[in-house]
Amino acid sequence: MVSLMLTIGSISDEKVIQTVSDVVPGRPKPSLGLPMSWKPDPADSRPIYAQVKDWLRTRVAQGELVPGAAIRDQAVLAADLGISDMTVRRALIELADEGVLNRRRGKGTFVSLPTAPGAAIATRLRIAIVTPLDLTHQRSPLFYQRILQAMLRAAEDHGASISVRRDVRPYAESFAPLASARDLAGIALLGCLDPTMIEAAVATGRPTVLIDSVAPASLPDLDEVNHHDEASAHDAVAELLRLGHRRIAMLSADTASLFFAQRVAGYRLAHAEARVPVDEALVLIGVEPASTNAYAATRSLIAARPDITALFCSTDEMALGAMAALRDAGRRIPDDTSIIGFGDIGVFSSPALSSVRIPMERLGRDAVECLFQRLDDPDRPAQKRLVEPEWIPRASSGWAPLNRVEASVTPPRETRA
């Protein structure tokens, strides 16, 4: 299993995960013996980190810090300069963004090696994965973590590295360092629905690919790797209807997201094809896609409508929260209430969660391939890669209670695959 360590926050909290050394084999790595001559300039209105950043950049440009030189430990440098660790950290990270420095996990920070004159790209390439999501939070979607793992493996296959950052407004300012980063292969936007964030990424002039993101109409020519969810949501709900369920509730996140809208559309289409009217009181839209929110929504729902026999959730995280709510209300799964999720991360729940599997590994791998193909051929037509999710029945869904005794066929067998 490949381990991915993330440090994500604002632009200043980027952590670079590198897989290729910037130091030429056999070449000595001079360490930095900086004369501590820097002092804050009271006449300079810029933040202290910006002054430190310019000071270090000047030392590199003047040859005082040679390529391959090791920058001393961040805490030591901060103490010598009389400023905070975070101030030094931000200066070093932004210089790494610009390609002036090279941060190597577990080894330190070094002055980058120069690239050959006229070279199109640096020897080491980095993919910046940018997301509006806080992927370090304990409730962050495992769905995105799996995509990141796949991207890391694919990047390694290309001899590249990845960095992961959570960007905040103003996006134009937070994306600016990427425009001048010498080692940057491209930008991958993950889970991004804000058109201004996508526009800021494109404005850097770097190859950009969207993953689980929706391009604004103003930018039709972006590479995309996405999934279409209506058909698989339809298949899941159609199976519940086939098993005799007629009061099927749905918990959905905000349908401003195209993907959640597609899942609701699949729910409605399955009902229409079965000629079963949708009870709008059972369709809850705008539930935050987290297990705690789904738990509360489910408790309220079954208190108001104890007649429901099945529940379709637009994410597995929501389904796991709903399962806990059903158990706490004394309901057996699936004997009293069937439940289905979306995303396929709940296979080891009890009972195993029926779900729609999104091929997360393929999303991550295809995104990296798109970026490198764009580097090889900048003028190629935009790629719109769609992966099809798959309905996976397991033990959490079964016959409707009134149909179970009369059922003449075996309920769907549990699947762990």
> CATH number for the domain including 106?
1.10.10.10
Residue where the block lists tokens 């994965």: 129
How many structural domains are present in the chain?
3
Residue 371 lies in a domain: no
Residue 116 has pLDDT above 90, yes or no: no
Report pLDDT digits (tens) over 137-156. 545 567 888 999 999 999 98
The answer to whether the pTM exceeds 0.75 is no
Alpha helices in 158-257 (DSSP H): 171-180, 195-203, 230-242
**Statement to judge: residues 171 and 134 lie in one domain:** yes
Range with top average pLDDT, 94-98, 279-283, 412-416 = 279-283
**Statement to judge: residues 64 and 186 lie in one domain:** no
Last-in-domain residue among 179, 197, 220? 220
Do 353 and 393 touch, CB atoms closer than 8 A? no
Residue 107 lies in a domain: yes
CATH of the domain at 135: 3.40.50.2300
**Statement to judge: residues 260 and 400 lie in one domain:** yes
**Statement to judge: residues 65 and 177 lie in one domain:** no
Distance CA 335, CA 346 (A): 19
Residue where the block lists tokens 């050959």: 116
> Which range marks the domain in which residue 204 is found?
125-220
Residue 64 lies in a domain: yes
Distance CA 395, CA 379 (A): 49
Last-in-domain residue among 48, 76, 111? 111
Report pLDDT digits (tens) over 3-62. 333 333 333 334 333 322 333 333 333 334 444 467 888 888 888 988 888 888 888 877
Distance CA 126, CA 123 (A): 10
Bridge partners of 125?
160
Burial of 233 (0-12, 13-18, 19+ CB in 10 A): buried
**Statement to judge: residues 252 and 353 lie in one domain:** yes
Residue 72 has pLDDT above 90, yes or no: no
**Statement to judge: residues 193 and 158 lie in one domain:** yes
- In one letter, which amino acid is 248? I
For the chain, give the percent of residues with pLDDT over 70: 83
